[in-house]
A = this chain, B = another copy of it.
């Protein structure tokens, strides 16, 4: 099957058709309409074989994740997604692969009403880049630089499942079958916290999604906001699978430095805590207070039962990869 037919069959005629798309896949560029009084929001993430997924990863999972990680960036901005461009580099014109990949992609696209408006298909080592576009009302975007001393630090959902999946895959940790299945589901089919992001537009002073790990992503907020933070590791919402598979200190470490959980990390001033609690249902996901923003630029201080707790070693951990919008 020729490339043009492959694209038409699996990408041009599938998924949501939005009224704000004037011209979709098939011309030199796509044309869309941005609502008045809204800003355009743009996020870009690349996934590369052997860096972001294992060579035996299912194409459906790759299709799901490449859109979900961009949607997670949108959640962290309090933004509403609308259109995506999908650039796929494939070693061979493998119709079965494209079909399963597109199934994973469109499951997410349909759920969040995102129209695929274009992209590119090229030959080479397996790589997928998605550029997601959408909107946010003027002055309502959640950015990294708004955290203030005294704000409470929250995280959605639970932490560590994706790192546990990777560690298990690399035979570093034995994980019980029922735990592994749940952890793998979170790694392979992450769900962007878009509803939570919408609620947080009215409550949070800053937000980021946890792609590189709690410590590293919290550092981004602290650096951008010129503040420091105290985190009580006893309050971390560590996933049950991680707690049951590791000793306590190792579980805490995994929750602190494990990436790819795509939960939201955000800061809320004292006077907005009530709003947050009142809108707990609308958040669509549990959330946990894990610490507080402090003044100064002394970085992250960990405590446990009122005692200092050592920072895990991040050396050698920083991906060359990261999410840089």
Does chain B have a CB within 8 A of A250?
no
Q: Does A41 contact B (CB under 8 A)?
A: yes
B124 touching A125, Cβ below 8 Å: yes
A119 at the A/B interface (Cβ < 8 Å)?
Answer: yes
Within 8 A of B (CB), among A36-83: 36, 39-52, 73-74, 76-77, 79, 83
- Chain B contacts for A34, CB-based, 8 A: 34, 40
**Residue A252, interface by CB 8 Å:** no
Stretch of A21-29, A100-108, A161-169, A182-190 contacting B (4+ beta carbons < 8 Å):
A21-29
CB of A288 within 8 A of chain B? no
- B320–A122 contact, CB under 8 A? yes
Most buried by B among A33, A46, A52, A83: A46
Who on chain B is nearest to A43 by CB?
B29
Q: A33-B39, A39-B33, A318-B2 are in contact. Are A118 and B27 (CB under 8 A)?
A: no
CA distance in complex: A43, B31 (Å):
9
Contact residues in B for A48 (Cβ distance below 8 Å):
89, 122-125, 127
Kindly report which residue of chain B lies nearest to residue A40, judged by CB atoms: B32
Mark the stretch among A128-136, A238-246, A268-276, A297-305 that contacts chain B.
A128-136
Which A residues fall within an 8 A CB radius of B?
Answer: 2-4, 7, 22-23, 25-34, 36, 39-52, 73-74, 76-77, 79, 83, 85, 87, 89-90, 93, 117-125, 127, 129, 131-133, 136, 141, 143-145, 207-209, 224, 318-325
